[in-house]
Structure 1
Amino acid sequence: MATFVIEGGHKLSGDITPQGAKNEALQVICAVLLTKDKVTISNIPDIRDVNKLIYILSELGVKIEKIKSDTYTFQADDLNLKYLESEKFKQDGSSLRGSIMIVGPLLARFGKGYIPRPGGDKIGRRRLDTHFEGFIKLGAKFRYNKDEKFYGVEADYLTGTNMLLDEASVTGTANIVMAAVMAKGITTIYNAACEPYLQQLCKMLNSMGAKIRGVGSNLLIIEGVEILSGCSHRILPDMIEIGSWIGMAAMTKSSITIKNVSWDDLGLIPRVFQKIGINLERKGDDIFIPEQDSYEIQNFIDGSILTISDAPWPGFTPDLLSIILVVATQAKGSVLIHQKMFESRLFFVDKLIDMGAKVILCDPHRATVIGMNHESSLKATTMTSPDIRAGISLLIAALSAKGTSTIHNIEQIDRGYQNIDTRLRAIGAKITRIE
């Protein structure tokens, strides 16, 4: 288990470029299974979860070549489908939640897909019903081995249908779309997720020969095709990392420029940070955050306390609520953070309270933050990262705190942030990795 040692209280400065989007990468890399032709994907982040998925595909028989540090070619023309029923796959797949998205393309192309119950963050229940209900509606038969915790779907062929998803699940929508693009007839998916990363997947599939309409809306219409071809695709910058850098600049009273953010794909993110008082400027496709000694939370028009909550796109992403919460601890004013989509993501606030933050955890979904306006700094402490997003939030808190903090279990942070210690040192952070 590796550890970060962080000497807090230092200002940061300079430019930082966001990595490719983790959530998009996990989707589009699975989509290479839909064709026997070569697919080239660039701006792939070098992080644990993505590398683990690439490894699983290589074990499945996908020919993978690393062209540059962030660019790979994939060719799934001679797969070893027996791997899917092996003990090794049960071990490999169970450690990565994103592995669930290989099921849709395998079902579409080969008529079967299997997956062990996937792992991932301990942030509450993230059920798989949406995925498998979609496959069943397309004509697949579902089976589950309770003893081995192993899921499977099989079909001689898939048939287009109308479906209303019970939740706008991003991975569920992605999986169903990848299955439906080769089904016979037309599939309509209502209450589909419409996140930019899902839009990117649909654009990639269309460039491969799929026929998907309604991209960017919650109603997708898919006309099945018999075969898909290869393509080249570039992954968007990671909006969660962009939000992390905004919060880090504010907490450390720093001035930084975040480069090439694909501003038009950020949705509400800049506006929500502005609501808690953070100044940020658009400069071309960059975000410039000037140095601020203080930032003040805006109340609602009627004077009531500001509430920031998560929601499916185009609402505010749940992956940034923990960042907003930590940044609010040093704002002027108060805010209610309402985590609607996951029930365990706010439990990391105990560590912030240990550091001197004024946070009232109302229940598993809500926390009230009373900002200290930088009048009282957070205190250094020793802590453990419970998941990716809480981990980066604790890292931001440590960078702003007086003294030297230690964060254990940083493998969780590495799952979502590429070479984060090296990149932060380049803009002035005092952070050391101890293996």
Structure 2
Amino acid sequence: MGTFKIEGGHQLKGSIQPQGAKNEALQILCAVLLTPDLVTINNIPDIVDVNKLISLLKKLGVKVEKISKGTYTFQADEVNLKYLESDEFKEDGRGLRGSIMIVGPMLARFGKGYIPKPGGDKIGRRRLDTHFEGLINLGAKFRYNKEEQFYGVEADRLKGAYMLLEEASVTGTANIVMAAVLAEGRTTIYNAACEPYLQQLCKMLNRMGAQISGVGSNMLVIDGVETLSGTHHTMLPDMIEIGSWIGLAAMTKSELTITNVSWDDLGIIPTVFRKLGITVERRGDDIHIPAHTDGYEIQSFIDGSILTISDAPWPGFTPDLLSIILVVATQARGSVLIHQKMFESRLFFVDKLIDMGAKIILCDPHRATVIGHDFKSTLKAMTMTSPDIRAGVSLLIAALSAKGTSTIQNIEQIDRGYENIDERLRAIGARIERLE
């Protein structure tokens, strides 16, 4: 198990470029299964979860070639369907949440898609109902082996249908879209997710020959086609990493520039950080954060009541950044209520922040009130364990702001979502060391 050793309390300075988007990569990589033609993808992040999915595709028989850093070609012209029913696949698929999104394209192109119950972060229940109910609406037969926790869907030919999704699941919408593009007739998906990464998937599929309209809205209309062809695709920068660096700059009173952020795809992320009193300047397609030497002050609502920041489906605030917001609030002037609606276990890491000296009241599994220190007392260095990707980075930011030397164990969780994070932080002045 790897460990980060962090000497906190130092200002950072310089520029940092965000990696390619993890959550987009997991969708886009699964989409290569929809065509036997060559697909070239740029800006793929070199992180554990994405590399696991690439390995899974190789075992499925997809020809994968690395052209340069972040650029790969994929060709799924000799897919090994027997691997889907092997014990090896049942083991490989469990280690990655994103593996669920191979089901839609495999079902559409080959008539069957299987998946073991996928793993991922331990942040609470993450239902798969939206995925399979959507595929059943398209005519698939569903089966589930309870003992092995193994799911399967099969169909000779999918047929378009109208469906109203119970939840605007991003991965669920992606799976249904990838199945519907090769279905017979028209599919209408209402209450579809409309995140920028889902929009990227739809734009890529349209370049491949799909007919998807309503991209960017919560109603997608898909007219099925017989086949799809190859394409080139470049992924967006990772908005969660961009938010992480904004929070890092504020907590360490550092002047940082985050380059090539695709500002127009960030939604309300800059606005939410500004509500915490953080100066977020747009410079072309870069974000500049000046050194907050005098701290930052949380706004209140117009009527003077305490600010509440909560997550919601896009264009609401992403749940993946609430952990960062919570940590940043620990050194603000004022108080804020953090309301994590989607996952009931995601706030349980706050006990570690409380041990570091943060003033946090965990109201229930979904809500925490943070009373900021205004930098009048610093967080204390300590030894911690990373419970999941986003909480792990939040603890890393806390450690970089704390006086003294902290250690964070189980950093494999952080590596799942952040590319070479220790090297990139050292480049802007962080004192962080990786211990094996």
TM-score by length of 1: 1.00
Deviation digits for residues 234-269 of structure 1 (CA, Å, limit 9, x no counterpart): 000000000000000000000000000000000000
State the match for 1:315 in structure 2: 316
State the match for 2:228 in structure 1: 228
State the match for 1:325 in structure 2: 326
State the match for 2:39 in structure 1: 39
State the match for 2:368 in structure 1: 367
Deviation digits for residues 137-193 of structure 1 (CA, Å, limit 9, x no counterpart): 000000001111100000010000000000000000000000000000000000000
Q: How does 1:99-118 map to 2 (within 5 A)?
A: 99-118=99-118
Q: Which amino acid aligns with 1:118?
A: P
Q: Classify the secondary structure of the residue corresponding to 1:405.
A: strand
Deviation digits for residues 22-79 of structure 1 (CA, Å, limit 9, x no counterpart): 0000000000000000000000000000000000000000000000110000000001
Deviation digits for residues 172-229 of structure 1 (CA, Å, limit 9, x no counterpart): 0000000000000000000000000000000000000000000000000000000000
State the match for 1:23 in structure 2: 23
Q: Classify the secondary structure of the residue corresponding to 2:305.
A: coil
Q: Which amino acid aligns with 1:430?
A: R
Tell me how far apart the structure 2 counterparts of residues 32 and 127 of structure 1 sit (CA, whole Å). Answer: 25
State the match for 1:400 in structure 2: 401
Q: Which amino acid aligns with 2:332?
A: A
Q: Which amino acid aligns with 2:166?
A: D
Tell me how far apart the structure 2 counterparts of residues 75 and 95 of structure 1 sit (CA, whole Å). Answer: 24
Q: Classify the secondary structure of the residue corresponding to 1:206.
A: helix
Question: Shift of residue 282 of structure 1?
Answer: 0.3
State the match for 2:267 in structure 1: 267
Q: Which amino acid aligns with 1:399?
A: L
State the match for 1:415 in structure 2: 416
The answer to whether the aligner puts 1:119 opposite 2:112 as a matched pair is no
Tell me how far apart the structure 2 counterparts of residues 31 and 156 of structure 1 sit (CA, whole Å). Answer: 20
Deviation digits for residues 105-160 of structure 1 (CA, Å, limit 9, x no counterpart): 00000000000000000000000000000000000000001111100000010000
The answer to whether the aligner puts 1:424 opposite 2:425 as a matched pair is yes
Tell me how far apart the structure 1 counterparts of residues 402 and 385 of structure 2 sit (CA, whole Å). Answer: 16
Question: Shift of residue 5 of structure 1?
Answer: 0.4
Q: Which amino acid aligns with 2:77?
A: D
Tell me how far apart the structure 2 counterparts of residues 36 and 301 of structure 1 sit (CA, whole Å). Answer: 56
Tell me how far apart the structure 2 counterparts of residues 85 and 115 of structure 1 sit (CA, whole Å). Answer: 9
Q: How does 1:224-303 map to 2 (within 5 A)?
A: 224-293=224-293, 294-303=295-304
Q: Classify the secondary structure of the residue corresponding to 1:314.
A: coil
Q: Which amino acid aligns with 2:384?
A: M
Question: Shift of residue 309 of structure 1?
Answer: 0.1
State the match for 1:358 in structure 2: 359
The answer to whether the aligner puts 1:179 opposite 2:179 as a matched pair is yes
State the match for 1:60 in structure 2: 60
Deviation digits for residues 316-359 of structure 1 (CA, Å, limit 9, x no counterpart): 00000000000000000000000001100000000000000000
Question: Shift of residue 280 of structure 1?
Answer: 1.3
Tell me how far apart the structure 2 counterparts of residues 196 and 2 of structure 1 sit (CA, whole Å). Answer: 33
TM-score by length of 2: 1.00
Q: Classify the secondary structure of the residue corresponding to 2:333.
A: coil
Q: Which amino acid aligns with 1:332?
A: R
Tell me how far apart the structure 2 counterparts of residues 9 and 431 of structure 1 sit (CA, whole Å). Answer: 12
Q: Classify the secondary structure of the residue corresponding to 1:103.
A: helix
Aligned residues: 435
State the match for 1:133 in structure 2: 133
Q: Which amino acid aligns with 2:242?
A: I
Q: Which amino acid aligns with 1:410?
A: I
State the match for 1:51 in structure 2: 51
Tell me how far apart the structure 1 counterparts of residues 247 and 114 of structure 2 sit (CA, whole Å). Answer: 40
Give percent identity, aligned residues only.
81
Q: Which amino acid aligns with 2:414?
A: I
State the match for 1:195 in structure 2: 195
Q: Classify the secondary structure of the residue corresponding to 1:222.
A: strand
Q: Classify the secondary structure of the residue corresponding to 1:132.
A: helix
State the match for 1:334 in structure 2: 335
State the match for 1:6 in structure 2: 6
Q: Classify the secondary structure of the residue corresponding to 2:396.
A: helix
Question: Shift of residue 362 of structure 1?
Answer: 0.2
Tell me how far apart the structure 2 counterparts of residues 377 and 29 of structure 1 sit (CA, whole Å). Answer: 43
Q: Which amino acid aligns with 1:291?
A: A
CA RMSD of aligned residues (A): 0.3
Q: Which amino acid aligns with 1:9?
A: G
Question: Shift of residue 85 of structure 1?
Answer: 0.3
Q: Which amino acid aligns with 1:18?
A: P
Q: Which amino acid aligns with 2:331?
A: Q
Q: How does 1:152-167 map to 2 (within 5 A)?
A: 152-167=152-167
State the match for 2:151 in structure 1: 151
Tell me how far apart the structure 2 counterparts of residues 400 and 254 of structure 1 sit (CA, whole Å). Answer: 10
Q: Which amino acid aligns with 1:345?
A: R
Q: Classify the secondary structure of the residue corresponding to 2:315.
A: coil
Tell me how far apart the structure 2 counterparts of residues 47 and 415 of structure 1 sit (CA, whole Å). Answer: 5
Q: Classify the secondary structure of the residue corresponding to 1:152.
A: strand
Which consecutive residues of structure 1, in runs of 5 or more, have no partner in the other structure?
A: none
Tell me how far apart the structure 2 counterparts of residues 149 and 191 of structure 1 sit (CA, whole Å). Answer: 28
Q: Which runs of 4+ in 1 moved over 6 A?
A: none
Tell me how far apart the structure 1 counterparts of residues 394 and 7 of structure 2 sit (CA, whole Å). Answer: 16
Q: Classify the secondary structure of the residue corresponding to 1:54.
A: helix
Tell me how far apart the structure 1 counterparts of residues 137 and 79 of structure 2 sit (CA, whole Å). Answer: 26
State the match for 2:89 in structure 1: 89
